[in-house]
Structures are given as structure tokens and as C-alpha cells.
């Protein structure tokens, strides 16, 4: 983006709030006859924006622009020199089947206006400029001060030439004041934001904790310092407004903590929380705002009830699977707290293990359930490469379930499951999916059902512009389509949605509903692997599209129409009766004596 034209227009506009007349060099007929000049240089230029491949929709973005202003008296003496960075925030949009990002212009303009306004305000507080303005006719150069050598930052084409005002020409009358009485305060701060689930997604009535540490790095008191908290975009009004820090003496550090319940939003939304400082004292160095990106979910209506999937289906001895093996892993929290939390992952794994155990009467000694701390990388290897090998034989039906986080390789798209000791900054603590496939393919098993409800992240160092789609099919052979059924809850690089009412992942919730019997699509009282995956896939696509206004697409392997005996493998028995045909909607309330319809009977 070209900056010169924008800056030539915006910078004088901001400076006109401090000086009575501002002209650019190409507008001034006699620039040397003016009372002074301002040279402007551009430093940092940065845009933070992440758009996944083939992604369309709205995405948060920030633009940062560094600028330096130098005020020169008529004889070239430097009276003011300051660098500052401005930030613009907003939302950009990418149309479907388009590479054009719309909305950056306004964000960049906000950054330009922010930094120019900040520098203009600091220039107005400069004691040397004020003294010069009051005595410009008799003013003499400050001893030992001379014009510096040109700086490496390139001045803008048509650099602004600003006539420094005489005392009556300032926007407000200013008296010459000794510099020691108008020394500005210098404060800086750092902040930590923690939502209750630590997933950067605000659930209804969830508490959020803001911890801030403010330091006065200047030689004078910083009076009545306040932390300003402002929700941006869709989160305006969600966060509390201000938090008082108090007066800080030179070198003093103060810490403050605030915990509040956030206000629920009307719909699922994304936005930013901006933290900045305000003080009753003039600030010589204004720290840039700190930006935190959050999402927020609406509150579930109290009259909306979801079926209780934690109620296990009844057992039938006729469906006993004494040779089956169950491995269920849920990793929602990690040793490294920088790894985002995956809500309900351990609950998913615990309940899914009980479902498979109850439906198939699988012996407890043939089950292994790994939750959070129990699911370190060494536990993955020991379970799949040693323990499973001892349990499996030609009559074994294997059930593998994983809920958590996975990384996608930036070059190949290969997927790796993240263990509890996984780290976001390096490839440690991850178990490659290819390694899991090879371990299973070496076993003399009869059938295998593998289920993955995962949030997918790019591997460290991956380029979002070129990263391929997650590769779930590498390593699968044609022979495997008769043995293995794969159910994957998330096809793309994104967070997997949660079904917060039931405290499960959305994909897992509908798998459990399906196992209760409703996935029996042809109503033959048998839930096959293909029926279960198709039911859960269709439900997740519909709910995320119609209710959450987003998109999550599960998929099944083998796919419909690709053959594969694994699709017709019976997993559960249930009853999904066809709903009765309603001839006509009743005009009056039903007679209380009318028999109630039978509730669905659920069995394995």
C-alpha cells in the first residue's frame, strides 16, 4: 500500500489541531520564510492478518505504523524529536473464490491518524517549542544544539513544512514555562488476560480475569493512572470499562487484578479486547494498546433442552464383544499453558469409552483411557506400539477415540496428534498419525473404528498462505477400506465447535446421540459405522451453518460410493422409529386423556 499520499493528507490535518497553519513543502511558496519546519519519517510498517487457504468470511486484523517527527527552528536547531507507533484495528472480509482482502484501507488510516495525533499532542506539550513560540523574534539557539545528521528513515515525498506558531497563534494561549515544571510522565505496562476455560472463547456467564502491572519509568509522578478496557468489533460492551491503578511515583510498580463475569452476546461473534493507559498527568511516552483476540457465545435459552447423552444405553448380552479393545484419549489441557484449551476433551473421551464398553460388553482389562496428564507422548507410544500389540488378535475389533488438538505440517499436510506434553513452539510432544496407522496395520485385527474430534492448528513455522489441507488419507491402502472406518470431525484448519449445553465437543455429541439409536437411518434396529458417521456429519454441518453461523465439516472414510465393507460394520443396536404422520394440526388443545406416544427405547 502506498503511504505517501495518505500521510501528506493526514499528518497536516492532525497538526492543524496544535498549530494555526500547516502547509506541505510543495504547497508553501516560501518554506524558508516560515517560523519552522517538521520533518516526518516512517519506520515500522506491519499488518497482522491470518486468512486460511481458500478461506472466506470476516477476520480480525491490525495495522501498526511507526513514525518519527522532528521540529526544526528557523536556523535548523532541533527543538523536538520523538518516535511513536500507532495501531489500527478492524475486520477485513474475503469474498468466496477471491484473493482480494477488503477493509484494510480503513484500518491503515486509523493507524496513521493514531500515531500522527499522538505526536501532535506531545509536540504541543514540548517546553522548548512553547518557549520558542513565545520568544521567536528574540530567540537564540540553545547552546551546544545543532541540526543532526539525516536519519536512516526515509522522509515522505513532499515532507510537511510547518510554520511554528507565535504565542498568540497557538490554538490555546500558552505561557512560557520552565521545562522542569512540565516534564511528562513515562509509564509502561504489561497485562495477562485469562478466561475461565483458557480457550480465548467466552462462554455465557464465564468469568474473565485481567492482571496488569504498571511501572512509572519517568522522573515525575504519574497521577491517577487508569487502565482502559475496550471491546472492539462484535465484542463492544462485553468487557468491563475501566480499572483504577492510582498514582505512581518515579520507579514505582503497581499491580492490579480484576475478575468479572462477562455479558453474554446475542450471537456467536469474534472481536478484540484493547487495553490502554490513561493518566491525569501528561504522558511523554504513550505505550501502544495491547490487543487480545476473543470470541463470545450466546447464552443458551433456558427452555431449550438437549438430550442427555451422558445417560448410557442399556446393555444386551447378545451383543457381547469379549475380544474388542478400546483406546480412548482426551487431551484438553496441556503442560504448556500457552497451548489453547480444548473444551470438554477429557469428558468426551471418558464418556465415549463407557459407551463402547456398555454397547459391546467389553472387559475392563481390554480398555485403556488416557485423560490429560495421563496422555503424554510416552503414553501414546506405549499404548499403540506395545500394549495394543499384546491384546490384539484375528478376532479383535478395535475402537480408537481421540479428542483434543492436532498439528498440520506446513509442507505435506500430515497430521500429528498433540500429547499433554506438546509444545506450540516446537515439534515436541506430538504423535504422527502416520505412526498410528502403521502400528494398527501391523496388527492381525478383524476391524477398526477410529474417531477424531480435533481442533487443527498449523505446525510451528508453517506458512498460512501455502499450507495444504490436512492430509487424513495418506498411508491408507485400498485393502484398509474393508477393515478400517475413520470418522473425522474437522476437515480444515480451525477450532472444533463445542456443544456447551452437554459439555461435549459438537461432533462427539452427535456421535453419542447416534449410538443411542437415532443414527439407524434405515430403521433396521442396527447402527452401522457408515450410518453413525453420516448422521453425525450431517448434524454438525447443519448446526454450525444454521445456528452458529460458521462452518465445520466432518468426513467419513471410506466415503459413500467408494465401497468398503467397513461402512456396514454394525456398531450398536437401537430403535429409531419413524415419526407418525400428522394429518392436520389440531386447532384446540389435545384431550388430556389421549395416550402419550411411546418414548424411544435405546439399546446397544
Q: Report pLDDT digits (tens) over 165-187.
A: 333 333 333 343 343 445 778 88
Give mean pLDDT, residues 207-229.
86
Q: Are 452 and 488 in contact (CB under 8 A)?
A: yes
Band of residue 574 on the pLDDT scale cut at 50, 70, 90: low
Distance CA 232, CA 339 (A): 24
Would you state the pLDDT for residue 478? 67
Distance CA 339, CA 337 (A): 5
Environment class of 112 (CB within 10 Å of its CB; exposed 0-12, middle 13-18, buried 19+): buried
Q: Are 61 and 103 in contact (CB under 8 A)?
A: yes
Distance CA 214, CA 277 (A): 9
Closest among 349, 355, 321 to 333, alpha carbons compared? 349
Distance CA 570, CA 573 (A): 8
Give mean pLDDT, residues 595-602.
40
Distance CA 401, CA 383 (A): 13
- In this model, does residue 99 exceed pLDDT 60? yes
pLDDT in tens, 236-250: 666 667 888 899 898
- Residue in this structure with the C-alpha cell 505496562, named with its chain if needed: 189
- In this model, does residue 264 exceed pLDDT 60? no
Helices (H), 467-558: 506-513, 529-546
- Beta bridge partners, 527, equal 572
CA distances to 42, 79, 149, 472, 591 from 152, rounded to whole Å, are 10, 19, 9, 50, 87
**What is the distance in angstroms between the CA of the first residue and the CA of the last residue of the chain?**
62
What CA dihedral angle connects 69, 75, 78 and 79, to 10 degrees?
-90
Distance CA 383, CA 375 (A): 10
- Beta bridge partners, 452, equal 402, 488
Would you state the pLDDT for residue 180? 43
The per-residue pLDDT of the chain, averaged, comes to 78
How big, in percent rounded to 5, are the helix, strand and coil portions of the chain? Answer: 25, 30, 45
Percentage of the residues of the chain whose pLDDT score is greater than 90: 26
Would you state the pLDDT for residue 579? 55
- Residue in this structure with the C-alpha cell 473425522, named with its chain if needed: 488
Give mean pLDDT, residues 110-139.
79
Q: Is the peptide bond before 558 cis (omega within 30 degrees of 0)?
A: yes
Would you state the pLDDT for residue 173? 39
Q: Are 339 and 539 in contact (CB under 8 A)?
A: no
Give the predicted TM-score (pTM) of the model. 0.53
Q: Which residues are within 8 A (CB) of 2 and not within 5 positions of it... i.e. 6 or more apart?
A: none
Distance CA 512, CA 509 (A): 5
pLDDT in tens, 382-407: 999 999 999 999 999 999 999 999 99
Would you state the pLDDT for residue 158? 36
**CA-based R_g, the chain, Å:** 32
Least confident span in 83-92, 113-122, 432-441, 517-526: 83-92
Q: How remote is the C-alpha of 477 from its chain's centroid?
A: 36
Least confident span in 19-23, 34-38, 215-219, 274-278: 19-23
Strands (E), 290-444: 290-296, 325-330, 367-371, 397-408, 415-418, 430-432
- In this model, does residue 17 exceed pLDDT 80? no
Distance CA 465, CA 470 (A): 14
Would you state the pLDDT for residue 113? 87
Helix (H, G, I), strand (E, B) or coil at 2: coil
Q: Which residues are within 8 A (CB) of 579 and not within 5 positions of it... i.e. 6 or more apart?
A: none
Would you state the pLDDT for residue 172? 39
Helix (H, G, I), strand (E, B) or coil at 332: coil
Amino acid at each position: 500500500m502506498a503511504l505517501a499520499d495518505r500521510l501528506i493528507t493526514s499528518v497536516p490535518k492532525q497538526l492543524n489541531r496544535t498549530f494555526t497553519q500547516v502547509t506541505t513543502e510543495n504547497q508553501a511558496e516560501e518554506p524558508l520564510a516560515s517560523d519552522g519546519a517538521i520533518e516526518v519519517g516512517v519506520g515500522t510498517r506491519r499488518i497482522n492478518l491470518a486468512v486460511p487457504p481458500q478461506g472466506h468470511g470476516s477476520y480480525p486484523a491490525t495495522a501498526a505504523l511507526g513514525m518519527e517527527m522532528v521540529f526544526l527552528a528557523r536556523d535548523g536547531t532541533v527543538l523536538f524529536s520523538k518516535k511513536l507507533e500507532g495501531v489500527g484495528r478492524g475486520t477485513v472480509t474475503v469474498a468466496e473464490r477471491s484473493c482480494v482482502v477488503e477493509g484494510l484501507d480503513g484500518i491503515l488510516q486509523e493507524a496513521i491518524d493514531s500515531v500522527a495525533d499522538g505526536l501532535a499532542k506531545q509536540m504541543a506539550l514540548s517546553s522548548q517549542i512553547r518557549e520558542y513560540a513565545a520568544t521567536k523574534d528574540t530567540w537564540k539557539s540553545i547552546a551546544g544544539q545543532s541540526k543532526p545528521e539525516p536519519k536512516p528513515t526515509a522522509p515522505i515525498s513532499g515532507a510537511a513544512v510547518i510554520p511554528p506558531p507565535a504565542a498568540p497563534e497557538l490554538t490555546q494561549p500558552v505561557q512560557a514555562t520552565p521545562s522542569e515544571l512540565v516534564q511528562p510522565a513515562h509509564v509502561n505496562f504489561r497485562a495477562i488476560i485469562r478466561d475461565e476455560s483458557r480457550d480465548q472463547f467466552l462462554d455465557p456467564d464465564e468469568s474473565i480475569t485481567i492482571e496488569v502491572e504498571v511501572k512509572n519509568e519517568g522522573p515525575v509522578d504519574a497521577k491517577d493512572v487508569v487502565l482502559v478496557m475496550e471491546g472492539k468489533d462484535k465484542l463492544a460492551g462485553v468487557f468491563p470499562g475501566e480499572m483504577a491503578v492510582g498514582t505512581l511515583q518515579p520507579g514505582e510498580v503497581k499491580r492490579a487484578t480484576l475478575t468479572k463475569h462477562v455479558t453474554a452476546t446475542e450471537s456467536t461473534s469474534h472481536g478484540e479486547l484493547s487495553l490502554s493507559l490513561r493518566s491525569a498527568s501528561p504522558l511523554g511516552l504513550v505505550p501502544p494498546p495491547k490487543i487480545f483476540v476473543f470470541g463470545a457465545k450466546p447464552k443458551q435459552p433456558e427452555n431449550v433442552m438437549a438430550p442427555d447423552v451422558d445417560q448410557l444405553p442399556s446393555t444386551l448380552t447378545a451383543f457381547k464383544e469379549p475380544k474388542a479393545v478400546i483406546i480412548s484419549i482426551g487431551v484438553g489441557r496441556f503442560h504448556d499453558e500457552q497451548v489453547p484449551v480444548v473444551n470438554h476433551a477429557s469428558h468426551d473421551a471418558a464418556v465415549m469409552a463407557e459407551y463402547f464398553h456398555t454397547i459391546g460388553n467389553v472387559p475392563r482389562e481390554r480398555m485403556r483411557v488416557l485423560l490429560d496428564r495421563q496422555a503424554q507422548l510416552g503414553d501414546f507410544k506405549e499404548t499403540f506400539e506395545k500394549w495394543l500389540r499384546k491384546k490384539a488378535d484375528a478376532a479383535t475389533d478395535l475402537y480408537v477415540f481421540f479428542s483434543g488438538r492436532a498439528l498440520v505440517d506446513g509442507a505435506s499436510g500430515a497430521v500429528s496428534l498433540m500429547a499433554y506434553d506438546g509444545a506450540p513452539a516446537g515439534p515436541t510432544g506430538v504423535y504422527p498419525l502416520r505412526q498410528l496407522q502403521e502400528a494398527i496395520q501391523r496388527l492381525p485385527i478383524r476391524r477398526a473404528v477410529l474417531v477424531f474430534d480435533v481442533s487443527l492448528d498449523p505446525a510451528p513455522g508453517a506458512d498460512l498462505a501455502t499450507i495444504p489441507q490436512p492430509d487424513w488419507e495418506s498411508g491408507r491402502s485400498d485393502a484398509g477400506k474393508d477393515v478400517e472406518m475413520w470418522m473425522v470431525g474437522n476437515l480444515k484448519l480451525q477450532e472444533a465447535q463445542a456443544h456447551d449445553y452437554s459439555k461435549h465437543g459438537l461432533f462427539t455429541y452427535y456421535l453419542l446421540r447416534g449410538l443411542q439409536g437415532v443414527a439407524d437411518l434405515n430403521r433396521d434396529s442396527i447402527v452401522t459405522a457408515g450410518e453413525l458417521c453420516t448422521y453425525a456429519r450431517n448434524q454438525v454441518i447443519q448446526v454450525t451453518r444454521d445456528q452458529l453461523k460458521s462452518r465445520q465439516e466432518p468426513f467419513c472414510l471410506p466415503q459413500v460410493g467408494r465401497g468398503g465393507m467397513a461402512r456396514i460394520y454394525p456398531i450398536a443396536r437401537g430403535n429409531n422409529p419413524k415419526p407418525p404422520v400428522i394429518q392436520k394440526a389440531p386447532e384446540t388443545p389435545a384431550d388430556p386423556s389421549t395416550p402419550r406416544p411411546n418414548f424411544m427405547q435405546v439399546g446397544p
